[in-house]
Amino acid sequence: MRYIALEEAFAIPELAERQPTTPMRIRVTGEYAEMCGRRLVDFENHRLPEMDAHGIDIQVLSLTVPGIQADTDPRKAVDNAVFANDFLAEAVSRHPARFRGFAALPMQDPRAAVAELERCVRQLGFVGALVNDHTQGRYLDDPAYEEVWGALEDLGVPLYLHPGSIPADDWHVMRGRPEMYGASWSWQAETGGHAMRLVYAGVFDRHPRARLILGHLGEFLPFQRSRLDSRYRTLRVEAPLRRMPSEYIGTNIVLTTSGVLAPEAIEAAVLTAGADAVMFSIDYPYEDTAAAVASIEKTGLPREVKEQIAHRNARRLLGI
């Protein structure tokens, strides 16, 4: 079986030098940090051989966290987004059959973000964009981003909402428990919450053709679909949604398997969100490619559904 992987990170050392220093709040071992650092900046020596060894036809590459969301100066954010996207386009051009790109967007300046999205899709051939959660505390339901959502619809490309922006506040539940910060728990809760802001703000009612991708099996949301609906029925709301909250999950909101290595969880995601809404990802280099592939192979899903997850859904959504 062949695979397309959608949440696969890269880094640019020169970009980090152009941006404000960001503290590393996730405490990892030195060995793990060294491994990730070596592989993030590589395309040929580690990445391609690992893809070949495990049947990964294509990686869709995106700038690692915190990405352009680290920039505090909007003008520098625009310049750095262009720099990062041009770098990625050059890397993709060296291996056009193996790599695709998600654009990094300067959401600090919504109008510039639209211009950069259009440039990346129309001129550089990128298949969508990836944003690391909020930008300096501003979420994507802000009215300033309406033009961005319209551009995504017009271009027919998805937005991948990824965790990892610099925290905008101090979440008390994590005080004294640094183990909870990041991919182990907080990023899923934060990004899933961001996605629900978009639902409740009516973003997908105003932009019904927009597609949002969530990694990590949907950042908890598919498994809360029934509760979202039962509680919504009890709420007094100013602007009612056109559909129940659960109905946006699996349609406007689709998901990848990135970072989730449990076959039974993938089976549950298919049951809750639908086989058309689940796509394979690794979360390279932060997760192991072999384990990610095994998580699909070991499910009890029919072969046809495995093929959908492995590559067919991605080909349809991204136009590959």
Task: Identify whether 170 is a catalytic site residue.
Answer: no
Structure tokens at 305: 């559904």
pLDDT at residue 289, as a whole number: 98
User: How far is C-alpha 281 from the geometric centre of its chain's CA atoms?
Assistant: 10
Q: How far apart are CA 289 and CA 50, in angstroms?
A: 7
| pTM, full prediction | 0.97
Give the confidence band of 33 by pLDDT, cuts at 50, 70, 90. Answer: confident
User: How much is the pLDDT for 143?
Assistant: 97
According to the model, what pLDDT value does residue 168 have?
82
* Stretch (H or E) spanning 207: none
For the chain, domains (ranges, CATH) are 3-318 (3.20.20.140)
pLDDT at 166: 82
What are the Cα distances from residue 71, in Å, to 148, 254, 286?
19, 28, 23
Looking at the predicted structure, is the pLDDT value of residue 227 above 90? yes
* pLDDT tens by residue, 78-129: 999 999 999 999 999 999 999 999 999 999 999 999 999 999 999 999 999 9
Which residue intervals of the chain are DSSP H helices?
13-18, 30-40, 47-54, 74-94, 110-122, 146-155, 186-200, 203-206, 216-219, 225-232, 263-273, 289-297, 303-307, 313-318
pLDDT of residue 24 exceeding 80, the answer is no
> Cα–chain-centroid distance for residue 227?
24
Of residues 17 and 149, the one with the higher pLDDT is 149
Which helix H or strand E contains 123, and what residues bound it?
A: none
The catalytic residue among 71, 109, 133, 283 is 283
Amino acid at 281: S
Mean pLDDT, the chain, whole residue set: 96
